[in-house]
Amino acid sequence: MAMDLGFLGLGHMGGAIAERLLGHDDQLHVFDPAEPTLARFRDLGAIVQASPVAVAAVAPIVFACLPEPSVSDRVADQIAAAPGALRIYVEMSTIGRRTMSGIAERLGARGVTVVDCPVSGGPAGARAGTLATMAAGPRAALDELRPLLARIGSSPFEIGETPGLGQMMKLVNNLMAIANQTIAFEALVLGAKGGLDPDLMVEVVNRSTGRSVATEGIVPRAVLTGSFDFGARLAVPYKDLALGLAEAEALGVPMWTAETARQVWRFALSQGMGEDDYSTLIKLMERWAGAEVRGSKAERD
């Protein structure tokens, strides 16, 4: 049955996810502060609305993919004041358990069911429909969302019935991914400094025990090539790292390795790299070592 769906936040990640919801006889209503982005979605067949409240007025199911917890809080407050047709609000942003729980409580008080559903896989995975989705919310809402989430990702996980559990799962994943990326970059720079061929080095690692998403995806696509365009601002993983460490502190769990990784990422932010692609983190290590990890076909500055 055709339905009206809503989507809030059409940045690198949100826009890629929203594209997966276009068509299928459903009508997608969208809002984003960036007018050029709205124009592109209008051309793709979406109905552009003037605000989050306007989206909620017409769409019973609304997805949100927003850049930081304060924005998610603000948008949820706006919708809570006028929920309109909204029945199910799907928060796909990475905002931490406490922020997520607060949003669920406030919207729940207005009769809106909230599903906590962060994703992993990056913008490329979103466009390909191969994301991992980590949904947590009431069983009836998860049942209703299952066909829609199948359009978005190929690895759907239902984490539990309490909003906030999805956030915890996403932060566990991201803490591991960010720490892996940090050490992978350091080790690859070491190898380059020691005379190893970068292309061969990455091939060997990816057939050995050192492989990770960093060596299998980020490095071949954005570092060896010199393109540095993997798809997210460096400030985004740092935000996730800080959220994960805040949850660890609240639960009394020591995180020595993640704390060390945070120092490296914080230094990158202090160097004005927050708006750069997060693959550029390796340039810090390269400058310190006086060596580059570039492949034979790399784009040169």
Cβ–Cβ contacts within 10 Å for residue 101, how many? 17
Mean pLDDT value across residues 249-275: 97
Portion of the chain with pLDDT greater than 70, in percent: 99
Mean pLDDT value across residues 86-98: 97
Question: Taking 80 as the threshold, does the pLDDT of residue 299 lie above it?
Answer: no
Question: Taking 90 as the threshold, does the pLDDT of residue 59 lie above it?
Answer: yes
Confidence tier at 24 by pLDDT (50, 70, 90): confident
Q: Evaluate whether 299 touches 225 at the Cβ level (below 8 Å).
A: yes
Predicted pLDDT at 300: 59
Report the C-alpha gap between 132 and 122 in whole angstroms. 10
pLDDT tens digits, residue range 122-155? 888 999 999 999 999 999 999 999 999 999 999 9
Instruction: Reduce the DSSP state of residue 70 to 3 states and report it.
Output: helix
Question: Taking 70 as the threshold, does the pLDDT of residue 259 lie above it?
Answer: yes
Q: pTM for the complete prediction?
A: 0.92
4 φ/ψ angles, rounded to the nearest 5 degrees = -95, 125
Query: To the nearest whole number, what is the mean pLDDT of the chain?
Result: 96
Report the C-alpha gap between 30 and 301 in whole angstroms. 38
pLDDT tens digits, residue range 6-22? 999 999 899 999 999 99
pLDDT tens digits, residue range 99-128? 999 999 999 999 999 999 999 998 889 999
Q: Scan for tokens 């929920």, then name that residue.
A: 83
Residues 6 or more apart in contact with residue 64 via CB below 8 angstroms: 7, 8, 9, 14, 52, 72, 75, 89, 90, 91, 92, 93
Question: Taking 60 as the threshold, does the pLDDT of residue 301 lie above it?
Answer: no
Predicted pLDDT at 46: 97
Which H or E run contains 193?
A: helix 165-193
Nearest Cα to Cα of residue 73 among 53, 112, 99: 99
pLDDT tens digits, residue range 167-221? 999 999 999 999 999 999 999 999 999 999 999 999 999 999 999 999 999 999 9
Domains of the chain: 4-163 (3.40.50.720), 168-289 (1.10.1040.10)
Portion of the chain with pLDDT greater than 90, in percent: 94
Q: How far is CA 107 from the centre of its chain?
A: 23
Question: Taking 60 as the threshold, does the pLDDT of residue 283 lie above it?
Answer: yes
Q: Evaluate whether 164 touches 97 at the Cβ level (below 8 Å).
A: yes
